[in-house]
Amino acid sequence: MPPIVLPAFLKVVLGAFGAAAALHWAMKEIRRVNDELDRVRAASPAEAGARQALPTLRRDPRTGDWRLR
């Protein structure tokens, strides 16, 4: 089977489409994450208190291990 030869122009066009698709996906992800962060920031204080009641990981200063607090 002979190798498929693509002209340089076609390679550039395909590369540009691939870069545009990757940029589009990255922008959608950035917007999604920012919307989620804005939603958490705008949460009522009651929800923030409930969130603080959940256990979190903290580094133990003496040993350096991560522990639930």
State pLDDT tens for residues 21-66.
999 999 999 999 999 999 888 877 777 677 777 888 899 999 999 8
∠ CA 8-13-18 to the nearest 5 degrees? 125
What integer pLDDT is reported at residue 51 of this predicted model? 74
Q: What is the CA radius of gyration of the chain?
A: 24
What's the Cα-to-Cα distance from 54 to each of 12, 28, 38, 69, rounded to whole Å? 52, 30, 20, 9
What integer pLDDT is reported at residue 21 of this predicted model? 98
Considering the chain, what is the average pLDDT of its residues?
88
